Structure 1
Amino acid sequence: MVDIGIVSFGYAFGEDQSVAAAAADYVSDPERVVKWGYHTFHRAADGVTGTDLSRGAAEQALSRAGITADALDLVVVAITDMPEYSYWDSASALARELKIGRTQTLLLQEGCGSGVNGLFYVASTLAMQPEAEYALLVVVNRVSEFHRNRMNVINTVLSDAAVAVVVRRGHDANKWLASEQFTDPEYSDLLRLDFGGAVTPLPPVGWTSADAPSAYDQVREQFGGNPAALRTFIGERYTRLVEVIEGACRRAGVERTDLDHVIYLNDVPSSIAAVAGPLGIPLERTNAAIAPGHGHMGGADQLISLGLQVESGELNPGDLVALCGISTGRWCATLIRV
C-alpha cells in the first residue's frame, strides 16, 4: 500500500452544445437521442486537440495545487478516443506542453476505465519509488468525428473534455485506498473500428462517420447466432461491476456496506441505478444528476464527477466513494476516501 491523495482537480471542456438542437445533425431519428435524457454535451472547436484539452486541465490542477510542472515526478495521460497522430505519445506531448525538461511519463489506452485504472498506475509507481512525491494524471476524451458518430456509438452522447488530478504522497484528503480490475478477452472486439490500423489502414471509399458502426451493430454481429451468450453478456455487465467493487473493498479492508457513494460512467439513470442498487446506494448518491449536463466524456467521467461533487460539498470528508467503469471487456473499480 502507498499513502497518496488527490490534492486538486482541473477541467477543460469543449463548447457547450444543446443535445436537442444538435441531434438531427448526427442521426436520422433525433427523438431517440433526446429520450436518453442528456440536455448538454461538449464539442471542442475545430482545431482544438486532445492535447490542448489536456494542457488546459493540467494547468488548472497545477495552479490549484500551488505547484509548478517541474515539481512532478510522473505524468500519466489516458486517452479514450483516437490519438492525434500515429507513432506518437500523448503523455510525452503533454509534458512538452507543460515545459517539463525531464520526467517519467506513461500513456494509457484503456477506454472508459482509464481514469479509474489510472490512479492504480500512479499508486504503483509511487509505491516502487519512495523518492517520488507528486504525480499528474490526465484523462482526455476528444472524439474524432471522422471515425465516430458521437450520438450513435452507445446509448450516450459522447463529449470532449479532459480532467487532471495532482496526486501527492501523504496527502490526507481524497485518498486512494485500492483498485481492482479484470478483463474478459471474449469481448475485445465489441467496439472495434475496422480501419485505421495496420491491418486496414484506409477507410472504405466514400466513408463518413454516418457509416460508423454502433454498439448495437457490433453486439448483433458477435452474438447474432447465440442468444444465450447475449443474455449472459447483458447480465454480466452489471454483476461484474459489483464483483470488481467488492474486490476493491477486500483489498482496502472495508465492507461494501461501508460505501457512501458510487460514481459510474455518465450513463442513463437506469444503467447507473443498475450498478448502485445492488450495493444499497440510492441514485442521489451517484453521478446520475451530473451526467445529463455533460454527456459521456469517456474515461474522464468518474474523476470529473468526483471533483465536481467534492467541490460542491455533496461529498463530505470521510465519505467512501467507489469509482467504477466498463471498457471493452474490462471491468474496474477504485476506492477513494474523501
Structure 2
Amino acid sequence: MSQKADLGISSFGFAFGEDRDVAMSAGDYVDNPERVINWGFRTFHRAPDETHAIQLATDASRRALDQSGTVVQDLDLVVLASSDLPEYSYRDEAAALARSLGIERTQTLFLQEGCGAGVHGLYYVAASMNMQPEMSRVLFVAVNRVSEFHRNRMNVVNAVLSDAAAAVVIERGRSSSRWLATEQFTEPENCDLLRVDFGGTVNPLPPEGWSSRTAPGGHEAIRAQFGDDPNTLQRFLQNRYRRLVEVIDHACARAGIGRADLTHLIYLNDSATSINTVAEPLGIPLERTNAALALDHGHMGAADQLVSFGQQLERGELSSGDIVVLCGISTERWSATLLQV
C-alpha cells in the first residue's frame, strides 16, 4: 500500500464458553489424560451444546460496541474470522452475525483461514479502510467454537481447544492501540496436515462407526505425513518457528522498525516453551508474552491474540508507546500484526 490507513482499536468485547477444569475433564476426551495435563493448561472454555459460533460472536460484539458507545448504524464494515467449521454450509457467517446484531446494508467479510485469521484479518480491515476513505468504523470479530462431532478438542494439537470470541471496534484516527503493519505468507505443501477428512464434497459423510473420541489425532497425522522420519519432522518443527520470526521481521520492515523496538509478543495460546521459542530470538522475555494467560484459556483458535492483547491492556501490563506483535500460524500460513499501544 502506498499510504497507510490511520486506525486503531477503540474497544474490546469477549465471550467465553463455560470454564472447565482440564485435569477433571481430560479423561472424557482421551484415554491418556496425563499427557494432556502435562501440557500445563488449567482451564478451557466449553460452550453449551445450544450455543454456537454466531451467538458467541454476537455476545462479544455487543460488549465491544457498548464499550465504545458505537451503535450498529455507525459501522461501515463487519468482518468475522472463524477458525472452526461454520454453523451451516452455503451460508455467509458474517452476514449471519450482521443479522444477529440488527445490521442492514453494511459490507461484510467472512474469513475462514484457521487460527491465524485473528492476526492477518486485521490487514483486510486496514486495506478496506485505506481503499475507502469514507469508512470510519469497523467491527472485527474472531471466533472459535469447536465442533466436537468433528474434532476432539484434546487430541488435535498440544493444546486444549476452547470456545470463545473476541470482538474489537476499529476506528479511523485512533492514536492508541494503533495498527502499524501486517505481514503474511503461505507455504502450501502441508496444508492438509490437520484437515478433517469428511464433511466436504470429497467425503460428505464420516465412515460408519467413526467418532472423534477414538479417531486418530493430530500427532498421528503428523507421523503419517513425515513417515516417522525424525530428521524430516525436526526440520518441519524448526521451520515453523523460523518462519514466524521471518514474518515478524517482514512486518517490522514494513512498519519501518526493528526487532529492538518490539516490547511484547502474543502468539497462539501454546505452552511456555513454544511461546519462548518464538520470543527469544526477538529478545522478548517470556513475561512479556501471553504465556501466563494462555494456561487459563486454552487455545481459542483465531481469538487467542485479541483476547490476550485486550486482557493485558485491562491489567495494565502494557504501556503507552509499547509495540506489540501478534503472530500466529494457520496450518501453513504465517502472519504477524504490529500494534502500538
- TM-score of the alignment, normalized to the shorter chain, above 0.5: yes
SS of structure 2 residue aligned to 1:274: helix
Question: Could you tell me how far 1:213 is from its partner in structure 2?
Answer: 3.2
1:188 aligns with 2:213: no
Aligned AA (1:50): A
Aligned AA (2:252): C
1:28 aligns with 2:31: yes
Contact persistence 1:147–1:212 (CA under 8 A): no
SS of structure 2 residue aligned to 1:211: coil
Which of these residues, 303, 326, 339, is aligned with residue 323 of structure 1?
Answer: 326
Which whole-Å CA distance do the structure 2 matches of 1:271 and 1:225 have between them? 22
Which whole-Å CA distance do the structure 2 matches of 1:228 and 1:292 have between them? 30
Which whole-Å CA distance do the structure 2 matches of 1:225 and 1:280 have between them? 34
Which of these residues, 127, 131, 146, is aligned with residue 128 of structure 1?
Answer: 131
Which of these residues, 208, 212, 233, is aligned with residue 209 of structure 1?
Answer: 212
Aligned AA (1:150): R
Normalised by the size of structure 1, how large is the TM-score?
Answer: 0.99
Greater CA drift, 50-59 or 212-221: 212-221
1:286 aligns with 2:289: yes
Q: Quote the residue 1:152 is aligned against.
A: 155
Q: Quote the residue 2:112 is aligned against.
A: 109
Aligned AA (2:321): G
Q: Quote the residue 1:240 is aligned against.
A: 243
Which whole-Å CA distance do the structure 1 matches of 2:57 and 2:155 have between them? 25
Aligned AA (2:226): F
1:313 aligns with 2:313: no
Q: Quote the residue 1:179 is aligned against.
A: 182
Give % identity: 62
1:199 aligns with 2:199: no
Question: Could you tell me how far 1:187 is from its partner in structure 2?
Answer: 1.2
Which whole-Å CA distance do the structure 1 matches of 2:142 and 2:30 have between them? 28
- Note closer, same or farther for the CA distance 1:225–1:289 as it changes in structure 2 (3 Å cut): closer
Aligned AA (1:209): S
Structure 2: runs of 5+ lacking an equivalent: none
Aligned AA (2:251): A
Q: Deviations over 1:8-35 (max 9, x none)?
A: 0000000000001100000111111111
Which whole-Å CA distance do the structure 2 matches of 1:56 and 1:212 have between them? 33
1:334 aligns with 2:334: no
Q: CA RMSD in A?
A: 0.9
Q: Quote the residue 2:15 is aligned against.
A: 12
Which of these residues, 230, 254, 258, is aligned with residue 255 of structure 1?
Answer: 258
Which whole-Å CA distance do the structure 2 matches of 1:83 and 1:210 have between them? 21
Q: Quote the residue 1:73 is aligned against.
A: 76
Aligned AA (1:78): A
Which whole-Å CA distance do the structure 1 matches of 2:215 and 2:135 have between them? 44
Aligned AA (1:174): S
Aligned AA (2:148): E
1:42 aligns with 2:42: no
Aligned AA (2:293): I
Question: Could you tell me how far 1:212 is from its partner in structure 2?
Answer: 3.4
Aligned residues: 338
Q: Quote the residue 1:276 is aligned against.
A: 279
Q: Quote the residue 2:170 is aligned against.
A: 167
Q: Deviations over 1:7-66 (max 9, x none)?
A: 000000000000011000001111111111111000001100100000000000000010
Aligned AA (2:246): E
Q: Deviations over 1:80-135 (max 9, x none)?
A: 01111110111000000010111000000110101001111000000000000000
Structure 1: runs of 5+ lacking an equivalent: none
Q: Quote the residue 1:267 is aligned against.
A: 270
Aligned AA (1:249): C
Question: Could you tell me how far 1:231 is from its partner in structure 2?
Answer: 2.4
Q: Deviations over 1:245-287 (max 9, x none)?
A: 0000000000111100000000001000000011111100000
Aligned AA (1:29): N
Question: Could you tell me how far 1:206 is from its partner in structure 2?
Answer: 1.3
Which whole-Å CA distance do the structure 1 matches of 2:39 and 2:27 have between them? 14
Question: Could you tell me how far 1:328 is from its partner in structure 2?
Answer: 1.0
Aligned AA (2:25): A
Question: Could you tell me how far 1:207 is from its partner in structure 2?
Answer: 1.5
